Amino acid sequence: MKIAAVVLALALAAPAAAQERDYCPARPGLGTPACTIAPGRVSVETSIADWERDEGADQRSDTSLFGDTVVRVGLADTIEGIAGWTPVGIARERDKMTGTTDRSTAVGDAYLGLKANLAHPDGSGFSFAVQPFATLPVGRSPIGAGDWGAGLLAPLSYDLAGGVNVQLTPEVDAAVDEDGSGRHLAYSAVAGVEVPFTKTLSATGEVQALRDQDPSGRSTQTFAALSLAWMANDDFQVDAGCVAGLNHSAPGARLYAGLSRRF
C-alpha cells in the first residue's frame, strides 16, 4: 500500500513538475523563440506602442500601432496555440512636393498559429520548433492587408557559454499582394545573439534579410535591430527595441516598447 501511495503521488506530481520552466516571451526582437509555453499556462504579450517610418523620394509614411497583442496558450508539453490582433493602427502619409498629409485610423488583421517544439521546449541547449500560421482579413486598409495570408516559421536556438544564446528564424510566407487581393511568395531569415547583462536584463542584436516577390515589384529588404528585455519577476517582462533599415527598399526606422505577462 505504501509503494502504491508513493507511485500515485509521483504520478500526480509529474505534470506539475513538467510545467515548471522559465518564462520565454516571444517578444521583443525580429526573430521567434523556439521555446513553448508550459501546458496550462497563458502568456499575454502586448506592444504599448510600435512606430515605423518609411522615407521615400516623394513622400514620407509613418505607421503607429497601439495594443498589438499576442496570446500564447500551452496546449501540451511541446505545443502552444497562438492568437493575435492589432486593435488600433494609425497611418500618416505626407507628400513632400505639396505638403499635404493623409491620416487614416483602422484596426489590423487577426493572427492564428500553432507552435510545435521538436527539441527542448524550455529553450535550453539546442531547441527547434515549427510554427505554421494564418492571418485573417478582419482589419481595414491601410493597417489590414485586405486578404488572408499564411506562412511557416522554423525557429531554432543554441546556448553558448555564459548564458549567450544564438538564434535563427527562417520563414516562408504566402504574403498578401500590395493591392490587397491574392498572394505571392515571400521569405526571410533572422539571425540573432542574446547576451545577458544580469540575471534579469538581457540584450539581443539581430540582422534580417527579407525577399518579397509582390507582383507590383519585387524587393529585397535588410535590417539591423537591437532590443532590451527586463524580467521584473518570474512572470512579467518589460521590453523596448529599435530597428534600422539597411538598404533603400527597407523602411528607415522603427521603435517599439511592450509588456509580457504569464498567467
Q: What is the pLDDT of residues 128-147, one digit of tens each?
A: 999 999 999 999 989 999 99
Contacts of 92 (CB under 8 A, 6+ apart): 61, 62, 63, 64, 101, 102, 103, 104
- Range with lowest mean pLDDT among 95-104, 112-121, 213-222: 95-104
Q: Does residue 6 have a pLDDT over 70?
A: no
Tell me, what's the pLDDT at 245?
Answer: 96
Average of pLDDT values for 78-84?
Answer: 98
As a whole number of angstroms, the distance between CA 51 and CA 133 comes to 24
pLDDT at 20: 75
By DSSP bridging, strand 156-159 and strand 165-176 are: antiparallel
Q: What are phi and psi of 23, to 5 degrees?
A: -70, 130
Average of per-residue pLDDT across 233-240: 97
Average model confidence (pLDDT) across the chain: 91
Instruction: Give me the mean pLDDT over the 95-114 stretch.
Output: 91
- The torsion defined by the Cα of 206, 175, 212 and 91, in degrees rounded to 10, comes to -70
* pLDDT score of 14: 39
In the chain, % of residues over pLDDT 70: 93
Q: Is the pLDDT of residue 202 over 70?
A: yes
Residues 151-165: tens digit of each pLDDT:
999 999 999 999 999
pLDDT for res 13? 39
Q: What domains lie within the chain, and their CATH numbers?
A: 28-262 (2.40.160.40)
Q: What's residue 7's pLDDT?
A: 32
User: Average of pLDDT values for 69-90?
Assistant: 97
Contact 96, 58 (CB under 8 A): yes
So what's the pLDDT on residue 99? 79
Q: What is the pLDDT of residue 95?
A: 85
Residue pair 253/243 in contact (Cβ under 8 Å)? The answer is yes
